A and B are shown apart, each in its own frame.
Chain A
Amino acid sequence: MADSNTAQHIHISGFTALYEEHMAYVFRYINYRIGNRNEAEDLTSVVFEKALEAFHRYDRHKAAPQTWLLAIARNTVTDHLRKSSKRKTMPLDNAVGVESLDPSPPEETERREEYLRLQLCLAALPRREQEIISLKFGGELNNRQISSVVGLSENNVGTILFRAICKLRNCFKDWSNEKR
């Protein structure tokens, strides 16, 4: 007869597999939302600690593992943003100058600038659009899965996604034009 510890062992084996398979999605989603690698790592840790706590009642019939984890990640990010009041509102014009101090080669500097600009454009989107973009590009969920996480219809998700990408493109294009 197994005691509760060996029972826990198998329970944890499943969790470890879950971690190995889905950790990258969770991290990428959070990184898109937060735009800060260190904070993204901290929050990814929080997500998996919460998931470990709740794992024994996770019901595979109700949600795919990735959807379940990203729903926890979404709650975690939102709580984090609420608590720290850290919604990124840095004016776009302030961003590039910081990076220009970097002694890296010009190509690398330009890439960093572009990266930063992408982050800033993303941060300027409404929260809902940020979430959907992050779930799509970071979490790699399909539109139906996203709809179950954010509580919108699949059609709405598709529409918001397209519009958000167009906004990002325009934001990025404006900056490129100004730079020239």
Chain B
Amino acid sequence: MKKDKSTEKQFLEYLDRLLAGEEISLTDEVSPEVRSALEHARKMLAFREEPSPEFRAELRDRLLRQVSQRRAAAYPSAKPKGLWERLDSVLPPRSVLVAVASTVAVLLLLFVGVVWFAGRGGAPAETSLQLTEGEYSVRLPANIVPEDVTFTAKTSLSASPGEAAVYEIKTGDVTTQSVTELGRKLGFSGQAKLADNGTKFVMSQGSGDEEKQLIVWTASGAVEYGYVEPEKLYPTQPVQLPSQGQAELIAYNFLQQADLLPPGYQSLAKIKDETTVIAGGGYSVSRTYAEEAPPPAASAPSEPSAPSAPEEPVAPPVLTTTTGAQAPTYWLVDFPYQVNGASATGPGSKIEVSVGDRGEVVSMLWSGRQMSPLGTDNIISEQQAFLDLTRGKGSIELPLDCRQVVIEDVQLKYWLDPPSEKQDYAVPVYEFTGQCLDKNGKTLEDFTGWTPALAAAN
């Protein structure tokens, strides 16, 4: 058995080198078994087929066309033309339709005007909304679900529909001046520059591996900060990390100096990662979240009030050297994102700071959005939402081997789009969490899925 393992290990080491494009010469200590297996591996590589340049270009064009179609769909004014063209042959004369459509449009405008007046004209937050579905429909990602998956709820689901608040998102003006000022607070000099067709402001500092970048998205005001090269997050050398508690303080102080502190915060997870150089010299990282570590006694903050500890100067970090492939290389300090006391979810709900070697802040994501209550609207029951989830109406992604999803919790949260997207309303979604099990009932991974909560969206 031991011999088998060493043979296997030897083979795997040589195979990785082979796949990395290395010319390997086998020493005498390599067993015939490994030799012949490697010979076969060579043969398999020799027969590996590459995608043709024609196919590569054709698929690229096709994907770009799809992107263009999405863009066109994003312009409401572009839609009627295509629709008219498609329906031209089957509908009554255009003049009649135009007259009808005009009447409908006027009525709709009147309706929207009334709603706008009620919503913005000093209406109290508990006012029931009458917005149309499209105005605040939630843009959940698509499903990626294998077939033959069963869903079970291991928690009680309410059968009662209810009401929930809807919020209007106000993105403040992101200007050269505001970004430059933020940059100064974070140690950048010079002036922010608009980049990528006005989608973001960028500031840079340093060069090579030491180059840092500050990005502020104009669509949302979200901020990204960090080193351009991944070396600081995924170093190949052993790192000296501060203690978890100190990492929290460092993160807290970092946000404080930039005036980016959220109303409440707590530290969460320690990240373990693996750094590997793969074939072709490419850099690849795969990471898994470790069990949530208990908050440190001295600095564990509790929401909603800010803790007193971070106001004190940060003591010199207690550094511990970590080595080996599984050693953590940074602490991710994750701050909760709340919408008037309710949790936020989705790709735009991140406020997190990564603290790396010697307590340096190596990256930061901050996607805070300013919101104000717009009113309330009807929501479906948890049971209905669960049913929607099982019917593929929501958004979930499951591993291939998942055969059973066990729902352990359901919460009403507010969905936030990615920082690059403009979002006008924050609306509630049901977030389901639980476990994915394989066919033998073994847990594969944690499960998270969402369904729209507003009755109007269903």
Measured CB to CB, the nearest residue on chain B to A60 is: B285
Measured CB to CB, the nearest residue on chain A to B421 is: A7
B254-268 contacts to A (CB < 8 Å): none
Docked Cα-Cα span, A119 to B280, in Å, equals: 25
Docked Cα-Cα span, A72 to B47, in Å, equals: 24
A129-149 contacts to B (CB < 8 Å): 133, 136-138, 140-145, 148
Interface size class of B (residues with CB under 8 A): 35 or more
Measured CB to CB, the nearest residue on chain B to A63 is: B286
Q: Is the CB of A165 within 8 A of B71?
A: no
Measured CB to CB, the nearest residue on chain B to A137 is: B44
B278-310 contacts to A (CB < 8 Å): 278-280, 284-288
Measured CB to CB, the nearest residue on chain A to B55 is: A41
Docked Cα-Cα span, A3 to B200, in Å, equals: 11
Q: A2-B198, A151-B401, A151-B445 are in contact. Are A48 and B63 (CB under 8 A)?
A: yes
Measured CB to CB, the nearest residue on chain A to B277 is: A142
> Which of B171, B271, B284, B444 touches A145 (beta carbons < 8 Å)?
B284
Q: Is the CB of A48 within 8 A of B197?
A: no
A61-116 contacts to B (CB < 8 Å): 61-64, 66-67, 71-72, 74-75, 78-79, 82, 114-115
Q: Is the CB of B200 within 8 A of A52?
A: no
Q: Is the CB of A115 within 8 A of B47?
A: yes
Q: Is the CB of B44 within 8 A of A142?
A: no
> Which of B11, B33, B60, B418 touches A19 (beta carbons < 8 Å)?
B60
Q: A118-B47, A137-B45, A166-B37 are in contact. Are A9 and B16 (CB under 8 A)?
A: no
Docked Cα-Cα span, A55 to B303, in Å, equals: 32
B173 within 8 A of A: yes
> Which of A20, A63, A142, A162 touches B278 (beta carbons < 8 Å)?
A142
**Surface stretch bound by A, among B97-105, B112-120, B139-147:** B139-147
- The A interface is mostly helix, strand or loop, or mixed, namely helix
**Chain A residues with CB below 8 A from B417, complex form:** 56
Q: How far is the CB of A161 from chain B (nearest CB, A)?
A: 7
Q: A45-B59, A48-B63 are in contact. Are A37 and B49 (CB under 8 A)?
A: yes
Number of interface residues of A (CB under 8 A): 74
A1-40 contacts to B (CB < 8 Å): 1-13, 15-16, 19-20, 23-24, 27-28, 31-32, 37
Docked Cα-Cα span, A44 to B56, in Å, equals: 10
**Chain A residues with CB below 8 A from B60, complex form:** 16, 19-20
B181-225 contacts to A (CB < 8 Å): 196-200, 217-219
Measured CB to CB, the nearest residue on chain A to B140 is: A57
Q: Is the CB of A49 within 8 A of B71?
A: no
Q: Is the CB of B444 within 8 A of A151?
A: yes
**Chain B residues with CB below 8 A from A10, complex form:** 196-197, 199-200, 420
Docked Cα-Cα span, A60 to B12, in Å, equals: 28
* Interface residues in chain A, defined as those with a beta carbon under 8 Å from any beta carbon in chain B: 1-13, 15-16, 19-20, 23-24, 27-28, 31-32, 37, 41, 44-45, 48-50, 52-54, 56-57, 59, 61-64, 66-67, 71-72, 74-75, 78-79, 82, 114-115, 118, 133, 136-138, 140-145, 148, 150-151, 158-159, 161-162, 165-166, 168-169, 172
A–B complex contacts, Cβ < 8 Å, 18 sampled: A2-B217, A3-B219, A4-B421, A5-B75, A8-B71, A48-B59, A48-B63, A50-B144, A54-B141, A56-B417, A57-B141, A62-B287, A75-B144, A137-B45, A145-B276, A151-B399, A161-B12, A162-B8
- List 3 A-B pairs, minimum CB-CB distance, nearest first: A169-B40, A27-B51, A57-B141
- Known: A11-B418, A140-B279, A162-B37; 14 extra A-B contacts, CB below 8 A, are A7-B199, A9-B196, A11-B421, A28-B50, A28-B51, A44-B51, A44-B55, A75-B144, A133-B44, A142-B278, A144-B286, A148-B286, A165-B11, A169-B39
